[in-house]
Amino acid sequence: MKVIKVKNYEELSVMAASIIGAQVINKPQCVLGLATGSTPIGTYEKLAEAYNNGILDFSEVKSINLDEYCGLSGDNNQSYRYFMNENLFNKVNIDKENTFVPDGTASDSEKECERYEALCASLGYADLQLLGIGHNGHIGFNEPDSAFAAVTHCVKLQESTINANSRLFEKKEDVPTSAFTMGIGTILKAKKILLVGGADKKDIIEKAIYGDVTPEVPASALQLHKDVTVIYVAE
């Protein structure tokens, strides 16, 4: 595991975008595993900047996203599909047909999970998976005590996650209570993983990467992967 400590959010964003950019340069047809949340916003801004400067070309890139709220359609501004369009896809030359997010409106959730996992498998999983982390150590929506072997599934969100995410909704009652998420097993299939966290995630990141490997801290599963880079703000 490669651990990079940075001074601030700007450095975190530049460094994460550089690693993702290098992936796109090295393999123009790569599959990027992407994440939502506050942390990657700066990274996506830097990637869009590099595209505008003619440094990056996303025309052959495919992407698979970690998760999506159940019940929200892609045009709902709280959906993760909407987030990805706004923060990255609309700003670069990626073909939206090549960008994949679980379908929050799917009526048969079991079938949607199977479809999404099969899709990820058919793409050979991510060449590089970007991950944020929750204060409880979750990655994607894999909350504490998730099985490390799990594939894409539908989860009931923990109260702490609903509370954390409610900042983005008008009222707490609007936060969906369940979501589709790649399982930890799906995430670990990525060839490379990049975990990023701001200053508020320092403690949980250090617990995840230096502590016991345990389902109580879902991100500790990353210790089992052979190619993980962690960038976090530690000052």
Distance between CA atoms of residues 180 and 109, nearest Å: 8
**Angle at CA 64, nearest 5°, toward 59 and 65?**
125
- DSSP per residue, 140-198: TTB-TT--TT--SEEEEPPHHHHHHHGGGSSSGGGS-SEEEE--HHHHHTSSEEEEEE-
Q: Is 225 a catalytic residue?
A: no
Q: Using alpha carbons, select from 202, 209, 188, 197 the residue that is nearest to residue 146.
A: 188
State the minimum distance, in angstroms, from the CB of residue 18 to ligand PGA. Answer: 19
Site size for ligand PGA (CB under 6 A): 7
Do 40 and 7 form a contact (C-beta atoms < 8 A)? Answer: no
CB-nearer residue toward ligand PGA: 66 or 106 = 66
Q: Is 138 a catalytic residue?
A: yes
Q: Which of 17, 19, 33, 37 binds ligand PGA (CB under 6 A)?
A: 37
Measured between alpha carbons, how far is 57 from 188 in angstroms, rounded to an integer?
A: 26
Question: What are the beta bridge partners of residue 35?
Answer: none
Q: Which C-beta is closer to ligand PGA: that of 98 or that of 136?
A: 136
Work out whether 39 is an interface residue with ligand PGA (CB under 6 A).
yes
Chain residue at closest Cβ approach to ligand PGA: 37
Distance between CA 99 and CA 154 in Å, rounded?
20
Check residue 163 for interaction with ligand PGA (CB under 6 A).
Answer: no
CB of 108 vs ligand PGA, minimal distance in Å: 26
- Quote the least distance from Cβ 158 to ligand PGA, whole Å: 11
For the bound state, the minimum distance from the C-beta of residue 142 to ligand PGA, rounded and expressed in Å, comes to 10
Residues 118-157 that bind ligand PGA (CB under 6 A): 132-134, 138
CB 104 within 8 A of CB 180: yes
38 binds ligand PGA (CB under 6 A): yes
Which position among 138, 142, 153, 165 bears the catalytic label? 138
Output the smallest distance, CB 38 to ligand PGA, in A. 4
- Which of 76, 114, 136, 206 is labelled catalytic? 136
Element (H, E) at 128: strand 128-131
Which residue lies nearer to ligand PGA by CB, 29 or 137? 137
Beta partners for 100? 64
Q: What are the residues binding ligand PGA (CB under 6 A)?
A: 37-39, 132-134, 138
* Residues designated catalytic: 67, 136, 138, 143
